[in-house]
Structure 1
Amino acid sequence: MASGAIDLHRHDSALGVWDIAQRRPHPALRRHVLQFWHGAGRVTYQRDRILPQARSYLLINLGPPQYLCLPGPPEVRIVFDDIWFSGLYEGPIECAAPYGSVLLGVAFGAAGAASLLPWSQAELANRTGPLRELAGPAATRLREQLLNTASVAQRLDLVEDWLLDTCLSGRSVHPLVHWTLGRIADSGGRVRTEDLARDAGCSRKHLSALLSRAVGLPPKSLARIHRFQHALGCLGGGAPDWAALAADCGYYDQSHLIRDFQQFSGLSPAAFLRSAQPDPGSVVVR
């Protein structure tokens, strides 16, 4: 079931050469799914660090093995060679693709996976791992179909149809969850949990528990992620006035900005600026 035109992009630089195909989802999925993409190519760096966003991912490896790198000591590298799910994260994820990459991905909105998939997002938050443990043979069959399909457009269709046919469960997410997520996103993470709770007519504890169950993270953590992403979007080519940037993005002071950069990227703001970015959602670390 084709859902629209595919946007094709080629990256060719000192970081490597790769092609990305992106497409908006079917209208029935647009409240839940932000984007489908298919990427293939090779990078020249050893690994990159994926920055946290208020979204989760279905990731299907259709090419050589890749690796999830867990910090040590000792460092652990987990082979990624099939189909994985990555929940919402409160920190960065390090990955390596030394042999090249062919990857199909689905990006879910903060509550999108909770609406589509029959698994507890609270248990999947801050975790990345094989989907077969949850989906069983259905995930294996989907990947086999994809491997036997050469066309990028048809591969995207297959995953979209799988979500529509197998995963679209109609599970109800509390309206207050959607309302809270919208308020946090619209404010760029500047809204406080106590203000959200007051406007919602409930306690902070109740609101935090509601979001933690539905999406895996409480409002405060989601607001910090949005604020960090907003700060990233405000960075220009040169070194900014960090104190002014902190104030503009709703940080209490510059030290709070630095703390969030260190937690969410593993780098100081100045070191982050010196690092190469293959795309807006990641940074090269070595």
Structure 2
Amino acid sequence: MRFTGRKRGVTALWDVAHPARPSRLAGVTMAGFGVHSLAAVRMVPHPAVTVAVEFGAGTPTVDDSAGRRQRGSLVAGVGFGVGGGAWARGENVECVQVRLSPMVVRAILGVSPADLEGTVVALDDLWGRETSRIRERLSEVSSWQDRFALTDALLARRFEARSSVDPEVAWVWKRIVADHGRVRIDRLADEVGWSRKRLWSRFHAQIGLPPKRAARLVRFDHAADRLSAGEGAARVAAEAGYADQSHLHRDVVAFSGATPATLTNEPFLAVDDVAWPTLRTPSPSPTSAN
């Protein structure tokens, strides 16, 4: 499918594909991108670790807020791009992009989400020679579905069956995601039978963010999706758990570096419904039982 995004007078023409069937691994989603010309796209923070495996003629680059530049295949940590200082550029780029739930990151990448917090690193640093091998194989096939199958098989081989996330941490993360970040974090430690200090420490180490910041990121991600879909800011603020529209405005600026009105035109978000098709469901009450 072809997607055209326009920002600041620059047109980004992308070919976008998504798998015909889900990954064999829970917590893994994929999309394929062919970028013919892209001057700059703001990377909007997302509550997942992102892996981009490029195999085309061009080389993508990502610049972060500290002025560092990463080229080629890369891994971006949970919430990378906070503050709006991360930008992606490239021409004639083809890549498979994988989003990993924090709960499967260590099992697949071999590092904790906490080690990737707020950063972007070269995939070579984590996978070594395996990165060049999968890039070569991806370039040898012409079908996006075959590329997704190759990538999924690689992820399955790397996956370690044992979980590296405590059941209590997994339960808290699932509550946060299910409630779109509106859950009251202070009550969750009591619900899992842990002290607040223990939950904060274990959650941060295993998910990559403290619980409250993780909830804010998930809530922002849900709100950003709705804003990008054309919903009004007042309605989104009321239904997404913000105190008022000003509260939504401040959070959007803090996470993305853009106002809610500007965020609706960001190609990074506008392409989501094409690349990552999902069924939108009403948000559950934050006080509902799990």
- Range into which the TM-score falls when normalised by the shorter chain: 0.7 to 0.9
Q: 1:194 aligns with which of 186, 189, 195?
A: 186
| Distance in structure 2 (CA, Å) of the matches to 1:113 and 1:148 | 27
Secondary structure, aligned partner of 1:212: helix
- Kindly indicate whether residue 219 of structure 2 is the aligned counterpart of residue 263 of structure 1: no
Q: 1:106 aligns with which of 60, 79, 98?
A: 98
Query: How big is the alpha-carbon RMSD for the aligned residues of Structure 1 and Structure 2?
Result: 2.6
Q: Which residue of 2 aligns with 1:139?
A: 131
Q: 2:48 aligns with which of 55, 59, 66?
A: 55
1:239 Cα deviation (Å)? Answer: 8.1
1:56 Cα deviation (Å)? Answer: 0.9
TM-score, normalised relative to structure 2: 0.80
Q: 2:79 aligns with which of 77, 82, 89?
A: 89
Show the 5 A alignment for 1:76-225. Answer: 76=68, 78-81=69-72, 83-89=73-79, 91=82, 92=84, 94-225=86-217
Amino acid at match of 1:49: R
Secondary structure, aligned partner of 2:39: coil
The count of corresponding residues between Structure 1 and Structure 2 is 264
Q: Is the 8 A contact 2:109 2:126 kept in 1?
A: no
Q: Which residue of 1 aligns with 2:13?
A: 17
- Tell me: CA distance 1:192–1:47, structure 2 relative to 1, closer, same or farther (3 Å): same
Amino acid at match of 1:88: V
Q: Which residue of 1 aligns with 2:277?
A: none
- Kindly indicate whether residue 240 of structure 2 is the aligned counterpart of residue 249 of structure 1: yes
Q: Which residue of 2 aligns with 1:6?
A: none
1:68 Cα deviation (Å)? Answer: 1.0
Amino acid at match of 2:248: L
1:206 Cα deviation (Å)? Answer: 1.2
| Distance in structure 1 (CA, Å) of the matches to 2:87 and 2:135 | 21
TM-score, normalised relative to structure 1: 0.81
**Consecutive unaligned residues in structure 1, runs of 5 or more:** 1-8
| Distance in structure 2 (CA, Å) of the matches to 1:110 and 1:186 | 15
Q: Is the 8 A contact 2:75 2:122 kept in 1?
A: yes
Q: Is the 8 A contact 1:146 1:158 kept in 2?
A: yes
Identity of aligned residues (%): 29
1:65 Cα deviation (Å)? Answer: 1.4
CA offsets 1:101-141 (integer angstroms, 9 cap, x no match): 21111111231213433212211111111121122222222
| Distance in structure 1 (CA, Å) of the matches to 2:120 and 2:45 | 12
- Kindly indicate whether residue 263 of structure 2 is the aligned counterpart of residue 272 of structure 1: yes
Q: Is the 8 A contact 1:116 1:169 kept in 2?
A: no
- Tell me: CA distance 1:224–1:237, structure 2 relative to 1, closer, same or farther (3 Å): closer
Amino acid at match of 1:179: W
- Tell me: CA distance 1:199–1:106, structure 2 relative to 1, closer, same or farther (3 Å): same
Q: Which moved more, 1:181-190 or 1:166-175?
A: 166-175
CA offsets 1:25-84 (integer angstroms, 9 cap, x no match): 443x1x231x122111324x5211121121111111112112112236xx44x2422x21
Secondary structure, aligned partner of 1:46: strand
| Distance in structure 2 (CA, Å) of the matches to 1:239 and 1:125 | 30
